[in-house]
Chains A and B, each alone.
Chain A
Amino acid sequence: MLVTMTVNGTEVARDIEPRVLLVHFLREELGMTGTHWGCDTSNCGACVVQLDGTPVKSCTVLAAMADGHSVKTVEGLAEGGTLDPIQQGFMEEHGLQCGFCTPGMMLTTNALLKENPNPTETDIREAISGQICRCTGYATIVRAVQWAAEHPAGGDAAAAEAGTEASVAEPEKEVAGA
């Protein structure tokens, strides 16, 4: 069947089997491997993307169900060469080690901050409670989200203000292409 959707602002169309899951559509049909795929059982949250702005576990959504809708993946977070404040926050606060859970965590954060620009620690922990990180523990992830909330402009200016030498391109590659 022909499936058409907008992924990170670009319309894509593919002829696929109805049984293709959104996570596989993104990774295999579109080659966008920033969306990770872990447990396959809707538990780990590695595969979280936004469907019409709402975080969903893309291993439990058919690509066909996204037909006519818009999807945002980690590849769509940075604007040009500028990291999103959330990506910057994960870097500043060491919100990741292996980076496996990171794309999903960042897309959840992105939706959270849109709805609630000043989340409490409890709000943040609740928002990411359906996602598993095997590396950092959650303390640094929570701090990364808080950093992003405190630096809505994010990017180089905020990083400079925070006194770090942020290299914009490198960490983005690590995160998005892992």
Chain B
Amino acid sequence: MQIPAPFDYAKATSLDDAVALLSRYGEDAHVIAGGHSLLPMMKLRLARPDWLIDINDLHELDFIRREGDVLVVGALTRHHTLLESEEVQALFPIIGDAERVVADPIVRNRGTLGGSLCQADPAEDLSTVCTVLGAEAVVHGASGDRVLSMDQFHVGPYETAVAFDEVLTEVRIPIRPRSSSAYEKVERRVGDWAVAAAGASVTFADDGTLADVAIGTTAVGLETRASAAEAVLRGKVPTEELIAEAGRLTGEAVDPMADQRGSVEYKRHLANELTQRTLRKAIARAQGQEA
């Protein structure tokens, strides 16, 4: 029987209350949202917080709201809610692509966007999604809000810029005309973490060239975007040759580890192939065709 080590527990009644509790109990206090990453880690004693601050009653963090040309998603928004939102699917089809393959429907009932990003597991699908969408993370602490790019937010594997007395409150995703996005993942079985995955977001200029391209990968040891691959496509009219070249460069840029999920060569091959597929799909979607 796996049970977490003892800890104290408090339900936060407001965002300020959560921050006050976190400051009071210090470094050994952790926020718990869906608990679907934290509790498994606590059972295995990989995490051993002294205090858990439960933010599930902070319904003000569970929302999807359009503010002009930004879609704002609250940190407590469950995977299920994101997957069910037609507005989200229409604006950012990559989110639906990814959410469909995050764990399984029952885990998706509990897990949250904020928990996914704060967990910062290199295999976390939504981190890649938010990165290629150019999202910003809003972090709240005693002295107010900080707005971080995903680069600033992600410090390293399992490490974010969120201080011990701060709470991630929302993610802000820019809405761009003539753009679309896609995500492709290979897993060993339904609901499993990625062997490898790739996400792409493309924005066309009026003249049919690509004004912007963002490519990111999951679980293959590349924490940043695949910038060399992006550069191949930026400013160009996309062709099969350029897409193949972008895939090849992404396969070279990744730095995967061999494990029971596959060899280094296999994962490089996946990064290459999945990058090409997501690019093709994102481009087709941006051009109004469904790939």
Contact = CB atoms under 8 A, between A and B. Distances in A.
Nearest to A104: B106
B105 A130 contact: yes
B60 interface: no
Contacts of B262: none
Interface string B33-61: 00110011001000000001010100000
B9 A129 contact: no
Interface residues of A, number: 29
A166 interface: no
What band does the interface of chain B fall in when counting residues whose beta carbon is under 8 Å from A?
20 to 34
A129 B105 contact: yes
B4 interface: yes
A55 B109 contact: yes
Contacts of B107: 42, 57, 60, 130
Nearest to B3: A19
Interface string A57-101: 100111011010000000000000000000000000000000000
A40 B9 contact: no
A60 B35 contact: yes
A56 B54 contact: no
A136 interface: no
B103 to A, nearest CB: 7
Contacts of B104: 45, 129-131
A65 B36 contact: no
A65 B5 CA distance: 17
Given A40-B2, A62-B35, A130 B191 contact: yes
Interface string A13-55: 0000111110010000000000000001111010010000011
B144 interface: no
A45 B104 CA distance: 10
A113 interface: no
B8 A60 contact: no
B40 A21 contact: no
B6 interface: yes
A127 B190 CA distance: 12
B110 A17 contact: no
Nearest to A40: B2
B11 interface: yes
A108 interface: yes
A119 to B, nearest CB: 12
A170 to B, nearest CB: 29
Contacts of A20: 3
Contacts of A43: 191
Contacts of B103: 130
A56 B106 contact: yes
A165 interface: no
A57 B6 CA distance: 21
Contact of A19 (B6, B36, B54, B110): B6
Contacts of A127: 105
A1 interface: yes
A60 B40 contact: yes
Interface of A: 1, 17-21, 24, 40-43, 45, 48, 54-57, 60-62, 64-65, 67, 108, 126-127, 129-131
The 3 closest A-B pairs by CB, nearest first: A130-B104, A18-B9, A130-B106
Interface of B: 1-9, 11, 32, 35-36, 39-40, 43, 52, 54, 56, 103-107, 109-110, 190-191
Given A40-B2, A62-B9, 18 more contacts: A18-B6, A18-B8, A19-B4, A21-B3, A41-B43, A42-B107, A55-B109, A57-B107, A60-B35, A60-B107, A65-B32, A65-B56, A67-B11, A127-B105, A129-B190, A129-B191, A130-B104, A130-B191
16 contacts: A18-B6, A19-B3, A19-B5, A40-B43, A42-B107, A45-B106, A55-B106, A56-B110, A57-B106, A60-B36, A60-B39, A64-B9, A65-B56, A108-B106, A130-B105, A131-B106
